Amino acid sequence: MIEIRDVSKWYAQFHVLKRCSTAVGQGEVVVVCGPSGSGKSTLIQCVNGLEPFQEGEIRVDGISVGAPGTDLPKLRARVGMVFQHFELFPHLRIRENLCLAQEKVLKRSRDAAMAKAAALLERVGLREQVDKYPGQLSGGQQQRVAIARALAMDPIAMLFDEPTSALDPEMIKEVLDVMVALAQDGMTMMVVTHEMGFARKVADRVVFMDRGEIVEDAGKDAFFGSPRSDRAQLFLSKILAH
């Protein structure tokens, strides 16, 4: 579904991504972790073309993201993305947040978009909030709305860029629960996160990044059981210590 091959990216002189290669198969859940500044967020933003990259190739459902002729809006509409800071549109009610792209991009009718929005809000447990503005919701609720907004586009895959990093601890679970349910429903997911509990529960594979490189790319059990690299071992010992 998502193939990343030898992707390199520079910010001026700074080499952020160094020949990164990995893949996410249909229905697979891949967790990307690593210390901050390791390039994991940059990598996931490259997948739907929010960040350009200079070398290598990324294919989503067979379509090359970086190729000049690619219709990026069309491709992005098929890949859901959830951000660290939710990025709901603060000037629009929850209902409009969910309907905007359905109507503008997928050309759904108002009724169809609303029906979809209502069903998804129900699924994330926020049906009552449909007429509120994002600012009236808690962080955890906002992030669940953001997930619903992405799902409203019927995506073939979902990208999560540190979806719980900006949340208060007591709200992390409600967001992770939604993500776990999504994973168990068979959604193809690429998730940048530090939540190793989530990785243990639903990940098929774990990708460990450090200083712009993919250091390890292993099955969940192999990764947690016996990480091959020192860097991954060190990272795990730090993150699992508390």
Partner 1 sequence: MFANFDFDVIWRSLPYLFRDGMTFTLSLTALATAGGLVLGTLFAMLRLSAFTPLAKMIAGYVNLIRSLPLVLVIFWFYFLIPYVGQWVLGTARPIPIGAFPSVAITFTLFEAAYFAEIMRAGIQSIPRGQVAAGYALGLTYWQVMGSVVLPQAVRNMLPVLFTQTIVLFQDTSLVYVVSLPDFLGAASKVAQRDGRLVEMYLFAAVIYFVVSYGASRLVRRLEARVAIAS
Among 32, 60, 77, 206, binds partner 1 (CB under 8 A): 77
95 binds partner 1 (CB under 8 A): no
Joined tokens for residue 188? 């193809």
The DSSP code for 86 is -
Residues 205, 211: Cα–Cα separation, whole Å:
20
Among 23, 63, 105, 180, binds partner 1 (CB under 8 A): 105
Residues 155, 188: Cα–Cα separation, whole Å:
9
Among 85, 123, 201, 211, binds partner 1 (CB under 8 A): 85
Residue 8's φ and ψ, nearest 5 degrees, are -125, 145
Residues 127, 215: Cα–Cα separation, whole Å:
42
Could you tell me which stretch among 13-21, 56-64, 97-105, 189-197 binds partner 1 (CB under 8 A)?
97-105
Nearest CB to partner 1, comparing residues 51 and 204: 51
Residue 190's φ and ψ, nearest 5 degrees, are -120, 120
- CB of residue 133 vs partner 1: minimum separation in angstroms? 4
* 141, 126 Cβ separation under 8 angstroms: yes
Site for partner 1 (CB under 8 A): how many residues? 30
Instruction: By CB under 8 A, name the binding residues for partner 1.
Output: 45, 48, 50, 72-81, 83, 85, 87-91, 100-101, 104-105, 133, 135-136, 149-150, 153
